[in-house]
């Protein structure tokens, strides 16, 4: 089975801190994604990557950046955390095939105080 592992289940950070959320997948998937999930808003795409060192903005990239130095790892970076970035963050991966289903990690609940 595909496994998408997010390094932290819960994180508490202070406003202004730099925050790193790590995601690793073990099935050699080309595509990786970062979403945030908020009540009533569903899942919104922050950034995605189709290859190593490649990144593209999703629907809500402001305040975030990403890094993909290795195929299996996709990191989400909050340069200066703010309270409105308190959310559930979900990482996902898939093969680079048209209409392929996403495999999700268990999520990281981030609270910014």
Binding interface with another protein (CB under 8 A): 4, 31, 35, 39-45, 48, 50, 58, 90, 92, 94, 96, 98-107
Q: Which of 41, 24, 28, 43 is nearest to 105 (CA)?
A: 24
Which residue, 42 or 80, has its beta carbon nearer to another protein?
42
CA distance 104 to 25: 9
| Closest distance of CB 74 from another protein, Å | 14
Which residue, 4 or 24, has its beta carbon nearer to another protein?
4
Spatial contact of 25 and 5, defined as CB atoms under 8 Å apart? yes
Q: Which of 12, 9, 6, 1 is nearest to 83 (CA)?
A: 12
CA distance 94 to 64: 22
Which residue, 78 or 107, has its beta carbon nearer to another protein?
107
| Closest distance of CB 15 from another protein, Å | 25
| Closest distance of CB 104 from another protein, Å | 3
């Amino acid at each position: 089975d595909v496994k998408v592992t997010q390094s932290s289940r819960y994180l508490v950070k202070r406003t202004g801190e730099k925050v790193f959320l790590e995601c690793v997948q073990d099935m050699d998937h080309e595509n990786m994604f970062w979403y945030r999930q908020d009540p009533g808003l569903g899942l919104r795409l922050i950034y995605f990557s189709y290859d190593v060192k490649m990144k593209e903005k999703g629907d809500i990239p402001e305040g975030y950046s990403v890094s993909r130095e290795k195929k299996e790892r996709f990191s989400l970076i909050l340069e200066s955390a703010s309270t409105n970035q308190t959310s559930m963050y979900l990482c996902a991966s898939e093969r680079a095939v048209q209409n392929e289903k996403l495999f999700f990690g268990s999520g990281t609940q981030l609270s910014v105080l």
